Structure 1
Amino acid sequence: MKKRLGIIVLIILSIASFKLTAQNRYELNSGWVCAPITSIKETGDAISSLSYSLKAWKPALVPGTVLTSMLANKEIPDPFYGMNNNLIPDIYQTGRDYYTYWFVKDFKEEAPTGSRQVWLTFRGINYSCDIYLNGKKVNVEPYKGMFLRKTFNITSLLSSTGNNRLAVIVYPPDPVGNPNGGQGGDGTIARNVSHQYVAGWDWIQPIRDRNTGIWDKVFIERTAAVNIKDPLVVTVVPGKRKSSGIQAPAQIKLSADLQNASNKTVQGVLKYNFDGKTISKQVLIKPNTVVTVRLPDLTITNPRLWWPAGYGDQPLYNIKLEFVENGAVVTDSESISFGLREIKTEWNERTRSKQISVNGQKIFIKGGNWIISDAMLRFSKERYDAEVRFHRDMNLNLIRIWGGALVERPEFYEACDKYGLLVFQDFWISGDCNGRWLDPMKLEDQWSRRKYPEDHNLFLESAADMIKMVRNHPSLAMWCGGNEMTPPEDILVPLRDSILPTLDGTRWFVEYSNADEMSYNSIGGNGDGPYGIQNIKTFWEERTYPFNSEVGSVGIGDYESLERFIPKENMKVPVFKSGVKPEELTDSVWTYHKYTGVGYNQFIEPYGKPKDLRDFALKAQLVNYDQYRGLIEGFSSHIWDWYTGVIIWKTQNPWTAMRGQMYDYYLDPNACLYGLRSGSEALHIMCNPVDGMVMVVNNGFEAQRNLMLEVKLIDMEGKEKLITQVFSNIDASSAKKYLSIKKEVDEMAKAKGAFLSLRILDEHQKVVSDNFYWLPNESGQYTGLQEMKAADLQVNAKKIAPGKLEVTLQNPTTNPVAFFNRLSVVDKESSNRILPVFYSDNYLSVTPGGEKKVVVEFDPKLNSTELAIKLQGWNVTEKVITID
């Protein structure tokens, strides 16, 4: 319990750790207090007066929600643990007043003199609010909508003493939706311009306050008369480029809005410096107006280009945009980070789907669907960085943000810029809530739901604002009208034909996530799937949608992961009630946390009936690894023939659910991540389970020459049989078949199963692809694994840099295969895992006489003398290794 609470505290504390770097801007992220409206009789003008006593008020988390403040104040139990969420009153039963809260913050800011201005910005509230400062109301017009930033000029409202009080009353969405077990509950949550999953989904239970609160950053900014707003950088990279070498020129096109908040006309220069050059333009701005200014285009010679992960580097350029009044006073400045790249799409006639290119090179899309970082909106730069890095480490190159959530925070896109993950961004529509299907769980009929949300103008205003917020990020690759459904026509048309061309105009827009214009549906169904666990052969031999936006499987964590949120008394192997349809578990906690069903158990049983939950969870990792390696290999084997891309549903969980995740909510990876990492290698050798065909896929832009392919079979005692060792070449961005080894595999695996080792060595005899399969016997059972002899694996761990270790695993020649080994960095004293940690490989096997090296990275502030490496394996005795 202490370990779990410690992780929660770290997550909460990390929320307030980010500071804006610009000297003229600071965040109001501490010292807030809150109180429910039901306990406060006074109005906002009185509460925002410094004479009003806040003595009885409680500490609040801002950014945060009502629930995150209640959790921090220990008024509710952790809703992610066990059945605790059922102990928290739901807003549908309590009424909206129960979660309507005042948030108050005292802060220091001197009233400016002359033409200087002070601005108050909210980057997100849910769902509507009224704002007061020093006894005066700030927002004259209503402020509502979860996805709408608002900036207020508070210059005239600041106290002459420099002591100020800000009071904000935040009202929940209306309606809040009935969490009746449907996707998005009864669907009415979608009548708001807000996220939809908060009323419950098939991977999450309802969020009881629907995430009411000041959920995103609040900051103060100082400028002079002119304020720079929403700069736009467009980069043009013509032609077909290579990821290295001397580059032909590229262009920057930069514009920005300038707001003159004074009562006089202002003359000045908008400018930035780049590589010794000053790009500028003279501007005249009339009083109390906003003008859009476009600077002269800049040509960059030999640019450093930004590439998706696996195809090149991700260099970023930084410039400082300034407005200088009368050649002397810098009224405002904005720092802008961007990457030089150009993204285009074209129709692939063979696959009948869109094909994406970056800098003129076609990219086979290997993506993951993303919901949100944390279901209760506890966002932090550090958590974003870790999650996006996990996606990079899976050798993926795209993240799709699902339409029932939100346009992510800029810190998310910064991480995607850093790690090279393209972003496919949905707007806030879903087929489930918005009427695509007849659904008895929904309150209103399809025609009524088709008109959601109620305020179409607010949707469009919010969409325009979110576009401005994130459009400079090189990772942002495409916009999507909604999940599995278009927005209503009077939203879709202006969004597609006016707003996006005006505010962006550089990215592909697809009307909905599985539209025929993206991926022609010639096989029927909804254009997504299949979902759930599959026979591995399915991914290789059964053709699905040519750019599949959702196809996925399983993903529960191991024993250590499960015990973080399942009470001790429920840590038992899941069992299904006999004869009940649909299948129900005997344990309500497992049901509550969305365990995926009977299929999982059926795929685990060939490894032997689980002895206990620890054994069950280990065998589940074998299934996890095999499923996701098989999925991505099957799609990759048909690159540019059947498919132009695939996006896995889904790769992360913002809640403690047991489905569709490569790492758990606490950032602990499971075997899904490493199976996917293996199968997604840029250059990868693999074997078709249907016909035994050994293949190589090359995702790169360059042909690979003088490669050696090595194919070995290994029996359960560790004896090797070399099938072939041959030189080969493979063209760029292609898959190639070599030989079928079905006869040899069937012969060796017939009785007890076998291992198959596939490797590629380059001309320096360096292993560049290493793929290790475990194969069942002729009846589909892994009897040999169940009878394996122990392997005494020799392990050494040494520190090679702060926060970086190298772990070496050696298997003596007299041993059998040391199979399926999990490494963990643990606290030496408690033996608890340190999270997050990044491993260059895991759940790995070492052949007799073989050696594997794993690079391990974690927070460099941690003292490695207080840490150790824990080894757990299938036929290896658990051991803890001291770090040299």
Structure 2
Amino acid sequence: MKKSLKAVLHAVFIGVFLVASAKAQTSYELNSGWKCTQVTEVKADGIALSQPNSATQNWMPATVPGTVLTTLLNNKKVPDPFYGMNNERIKDIYNTGRDYYTYWFVKDFDEAAPTNGRQVYLNFRGINYSAEIYLNGKKVNPKTHVGMFLRESYNITSFINKNGKNLLAVLVYPPNPVGNPNGGQGGDGRIAKGVGLQYTAGWDWIQPMRDRNTGIWDKVTIEKTGEINLKNPHVITLVPGVRKIAGIQQPAIIKASAELQNPTNHTVKGVLQYVLDGSTVSKSVAIQPHTTTEVSLADFSLKNPKLWWPNGYGPQNLYNLKMSFLVGGSVSDQENVSVGVREISSEWNTETHSRQINVNGQKVFIKGGNWIISDAMLRFSDARYDAEVHFHRDMNLNLIRVWGGALVERPEFYAACDKYGLLVFQDFWISGDANGKWVDPAKADDQWTRRKYPDDHALYLKSVSDQIKLVRNHASLAIWCGGNEITPPEDILLAVRDTIMPKLDGTRWFVDYSNSDKMSLNTMGGNGDGPYGIQPLSAFWVDRTWPFNSEVGSVGVSDYESLQRFIPEKNMVAPQYSAEKKSSKVDSVWDYHKYIGYDASIDPYGKAESAKDFAAKAQLVNYDQYRALMEGFSSHMWSWYTGTIIWKTQNPWTAMRGQMYDYYLDPNACLYGLHSGSEPLHVMYNQFTGMVSVVNNTFETKRDLMLTARTIDMNGADSLLTQVFVEAQASSVKGFVSLKRVVERRAKSKGVFLCLQIFDKNKNKLSENIYWLPDANGNHSGLQKLAASQLQTSAQKLNNGKIEVTLSNPAKAPMAFFNRLSLVDGSTHNRVLPVFYSDNYVSVLPGETKKILVENASKINNPQLSVSGWNLSEQFIHIN
């Protein structure tokens, strides 16, 4: 009996699994088995090429999604353009002509001809730039597809072969014009005449992409539905009032709608419904033949909602909303929407004269980073998106701005931002450089002409509408922006702001351009963003700048192991800075990869003796720069500033500036300086006034905090300066004690370490901040002679798969200063990437112990831990 019951349950389970699998297979990607060839190699047309037995068997394997250049690289037809000077060895489309990068792509797939009114759709999420599409000997698109940022969906029900064997052929043309990559921002600017990427003609942080990213660059899917296709579901969450993180929540309002497409010759009646948190909301509708109709459902009151909060303020709760259209009780089509219940608003802060962002009624001090694109050659993946956004979470940031010379980011990027709590400031495809804000001798057209770019305004507006629908459901999307440092042409701006945005979204603030006075009132002249490059720390602490700065910062040279990945050994030459000439002599490969000068900032640590020494000392500068940047802005939050956005936090190419981690996802000290300076509860020291302050970037007042300050000299002698109970009001910054005279006196001879700590009433350490302060001459003379570290390190795997590293420094030992941890392959000692560290570039006081958690996104058989520091030679630690 038991055996019989077990067999029945097993059969039921198999049946349920098969039903679930069948539903899951209503959509699938065409992401392998593609072939391609250059258009000049083919005499046949698309009708012939898309028929069985066409002569495409010997074509080159193609990478789809991907670009022509990606395919050529994967087939070893070109060298890696990210290494050395290889990019100069690849032919540029401006010189070859567009035919050189115009390609045919073909793909065969199995799909049986549908019956009983069922429909099949061929969906393209992105083609750059124009295309003709053929299937089984027939033209699919009546008009040429044009535009990089425009999804296309074709009903191919009547095109499917009865035998289930199908052949798809796509002819892809590059952008037109392609622009001259003459060294200007966006080259000669003409790349902006189209509706596409602008950086591909080159910028001050990247060399030109030789094919201008031509290709089927985003996902291609086959979707199967019943008679009705459910498209573009839209979910809005309203969270009235000022909310707390914990406790019972008042209800939230859920508003939902969807487009219903009926391609048949008859009216179809059915029910549009969604299920959320166990409740169902539905509506009976009739969809007329050959129409697409938007249907709105009744508002739903979600009881005691689990709210979504930005990083650092609360949890990122997400609900799964399942929306479907039923005909006769059977599902015709279904879409799943990940919903973060939150409400984002903005208001003008009269104190700062800038925009203030509120989430669920609470004001949020914006700590952001500028983002270009995940990969310059559009090699996107869910895993890479997740890793990059994870790093931004680890920086203790709460916003990412997607820059206007690139794209509206992919849903997978937004899903990662939803997961990690990063608000998104999304630009559209306009930039002051290419679109005419400034006089620029590198540009082919004058400002009046460039101001009218792009050429096809209707295509631009159609693309904007489509991309809004693509990503508008994501909780993380907070701000729409008309363009980078300039608005689109007025007819585009007015249409987007006054018609398209209210109709398709209407829940988010739209700012005309990234440094608009409507975002940050500029009363100081200049462009309203910057400064860029190395700054004296006083620039962040003392100098008042724009009240919501959309771009500030820029350095980011990584360490030696990172540089080795893309710089040939013969070019490993440290920049040589001349204080007299105030200029640097830089190797040609460093210059090609957009090195930005560290100038005199390295010298206080001692002249760089080699590229390896330079890169190591650069990490000290990196850490100091980005800690000071965020501390300085935070010290004036709500009085001078409502936020700041770093230029920039990542690179899509192997550039040497503006990055907290390199292209290969290896973090540098910028990340951890920012991690420190941006922590939600943070104690900090203003070196120019001597004031010790506490920043509380949470919504809760913190009481009974013990603040301690001490100095540690270069021999390890520890002297307590103060120990006092303090209170940190919610969302505030307050100074508590000035230590300027005593700290300067102790630093005068050799420099000194200043350690600030905060403890809660249970003596748990909540924040620690260690500064290395120079001597009276501005040099780190003591650091240059610091005795060898006595650091003791152990590591063990935890049950949750993480690794716990314990760093112990014996009493009366010198400071164990600036230690880099790296998870490595035990056999090669190469770093495992990406890996996430709860902290890094860590200093350990004499007599103290620190624990670091390591989260490894990769699996290797024999991992070890590398530990090296300013006064510690590299060691390899076995992981227990």
The TM-score bracket by the shorter chain reads over 0.9
CA distances 1:738-764 after superposition (whole Å, capped 9, x unpaired): 111011111111010000000000011
Structure-2 separation of matches of 1:402 and 1:329: 44
1:578 offset after TM fit, Å? 11
Structure-1 separation of matches of 2:424 and 2:375: 18
Structure-1 separation of matches of 2:181 and 2:348: 41
Q: Secondary structure at the match of 1:877?
A: strand
Structure-2 separation of matches of 1:357 and 1:574: 45
Partner of 2:545: 544
1:409 aligns with 2:410: yes
Partner of 2:751: 753
CA distances 1:567-598 after superposition (whole Å, capped 9, x unpaired): 011111123699999x574421011000102x
Aligned pairs for 1:670-685 (under 5 A) are 670-685=668-683
Contact 2:239 2:251 in 1 (8 A): yes
Structure-2 separation of matches of 1:861 and 1:819: 30
Q: Secondary structure at the match of 1:801?
A: coil
1:817 aligns with 2:827: no
Q: Once the two structures are aligned, what percentage of the paired residues are identical?
A: 64
Contact 1:274 1:319 in 2 (8 A): yes
1:320 offset after TM fit, Å? 1.3
Q: Secondary structure at the match of 2:872?
A: coil
Residue type of the alignment partner of 1:282: S
Structure-2 separation of matches of 1:320 and 1:364: 34
Structure-2 separation of matches of 1:787 and 1:580: 29
For residue 118 of structure 1, the aligned residue among 120, 134, 158 is 120
Structure-1 separation of matches of 2:397 and 2:755: 23
Partner of 1:846: 844
CA distances 1:493-542 after superposition (whole Å, capped 9, x unpaired): 01000000000000000000000000000110000011111011110110
For residue 638 of structure 2, the aligned residue among 637, 640, 651 is 640
Partner of 1:344: 345
Partner of 1:528: 529
Residue type of the alignment partner of 2:136: N
1:859 offset after TM fit, Å? 2.3
Residue type of the alignment partner of 1:87: R
Q: Secondary structure at the match of 1:737?
A: strand
Partner of 1:219: 221
Partner of 1:391: 392
CA distances 1:693-722 after superposition (whole Å, capped 9, x unpaired): 000011111111000001001100000110
Contact 2:251 2:303 in 1 (8 A): yes
CA RMSD, Structure 1 to Structure 2 (Å): 1.3
Structure-1 separation of matches of 2:332 and 2:265: 15
Contact 2:189 2:434 in 1 (8 A): yes
Partner of 2:9: none
The farther-off stretch of 102-111 and 608-617 is 608-617
Aligned pairs for 1:760-771 (under 5 A) are 760-771=758-769
Aligned pairs for 1:616-635 (under 5 A) are 616-635=614-633
Contact 2:574 2:586 in 1 (8 A): no
1:20 offset after TM fit, Å? 12
Q: For structure 2, which runs of at least 5 residues remain unmatched after alignment?
A: 1-20
Structure-1 separation of matches of 2:584 and 2:664: 27
Contact 2:227 2:263 in 1 (8 A): yes
1:175 aligns with 2:148: no
Partner of 2:381: 380
The farther-off stretch of 664-673 and 853-862 is 853-862
Partner of 1:875: 871
Aligned pairs for 1:729-748 (under 5 A) are 729-748=727-746
Residue type of the alignment partner of 1:665: Y
CA distances 1:195-231 after superposition (whole Å, capped 9, x unpaired): 1000000000000000000000000000011000101
Partner of 1:557: 558
CA distances 1:88-109 after superposition (whole Å, capped 9, x unpaired): 0000000000000001000000
Partner of 1:500: 501
Structure-2 separation of matches of 1:172 and 1:802: 48
1:53 offset after TM fit, Å? 1.9
Structure-1 separation of matches of 2:85 and 2:479: 39
Residue type of the alignment partner of 2:731: S
Residue type of the alignment partner of 2:343: E
Residue type of the alignment partner of 1:508: W
CA distances 1:22-66 after superposition (whole Å, capped 9, x unpaired): 321000000000000011111000111112122320100000000
Q: Secondary structure at the match of 1:151?
A: strand
Aligned pairs for 1:452-851 (under 5 A) are 452-575=453-576, 585-597=585-597, 600-801=598-799, 803-851=801-849
Partner of 1:246: 248
Q: Secondary structure at the match of 1:71?
A: helix
Structure-2 separation of matches of 1:538 and 1:334: 50
Contact 2:790 2:814 in 1 (8 A): no
1:803 offset after TM fit, Å? 3.6
Partner of 2:29: 27
TM-score when normalising by structure 2: 0.97
Contact 1:575 1:587 in 2 (8 A): no
Residue type of the alignment partner of 1:56: N
With over 3 angstroms needed to count, the CA separation of the structure-2 counterparts of 1:689 and 1:334, relative to structure 1, is: same
Structure-1 separation of matches of 2:669 and 2:732: 27
Contact 2:267 2:289 in 1 (8 A): yes
1:48 aligns with 2:50: yes
For residue 131 of structure 2, the aligned residue among 97, 111, 129 is 129
Contact 1:350 1:640 in 2 (8 A): yes
Structure-2 separation of matches of 1:532 and 1:20: 55
1:88 aligns with 2:87: no
Structure-2 separation of matches of 1:715 and 1:791: 14
Q: Secondary structure at the match of 2:434?
A: coil
Structure-2 separation of matches of 1:322 and 1:142: 32
Q: Secondary structure at the match of 2:873?
A: coil
With over 3 angstroms needed to count, the CA separation of the structure-2 counterparts of 1:586 and 1:336, relative to structure 1, is: closer
1:876 offset after TM fit, Å? 1.2
Partner of 2:335: 334
1:336 offset after TM fit, Å? 1.1
Partner of 1:307: 309
For residue 101 of structure 2, the aligned residue among 99, 102, 109 is 99
TM-score when normalising by structure 1: 0.96
Residue type of the alignment partner of 2:792: Q
With over 3 angstroms needed to count, the CA separation of the structure-2 counterparts of 1:601 and 1:631, relative to structure 1, is: same
With over 3 angstroms needed to count, the CA separation of the structure-2 counterparts of 1:580 and 1:124, relative to structure 1, is: farther
Q: For structure 1, which runs of at least 5 residues remain unmatched after alignment?
A: 1-18
Structure-2 separation of matches of 1:566 and 1:339: 43
Structure-1 separation of matches of 2:859 and 2:563: 28
Structure-2 separation of matches of 1:577 and 1:619: 17
Contact 1:803 1:857 in 2 (8 A): yes
1:284 offset after TM fit, Å? 0.6
Contact 1:464 1:499 in 2 (8 A): yes
Structure-2 separation of matches of 1:614 and 1:697: 36
Structure-2 separation of matches of 1:49 and 1:443: 44
1:21 offset after TM fit, Å? 8.7
CA distances 1:766-823 after superposition (whole Å, capped 9, x unpaired): 1101000000000100000001110121000000035410000000113100100000
Contact 1:802 1:860 in 2 (8 A): no
Residue type of the alignment partner of 1:570: N
Structure-1 separation of matches of 2:112 and 2:754: 71
Structure-2 separation of matches of 1:305 and 1:328: 33
1:328 offset after TM fit, Å? 2.5
Aligned pairs for 1:223-242 (under 5 A) are 223-242=225-244
Contact 1:827 1:868 in 2 (8 A): yes
Structure-1 separation of matches of 2:278 and 2:781: 69
Structure-1 separation of matches of 2:309 and 2:348: 21
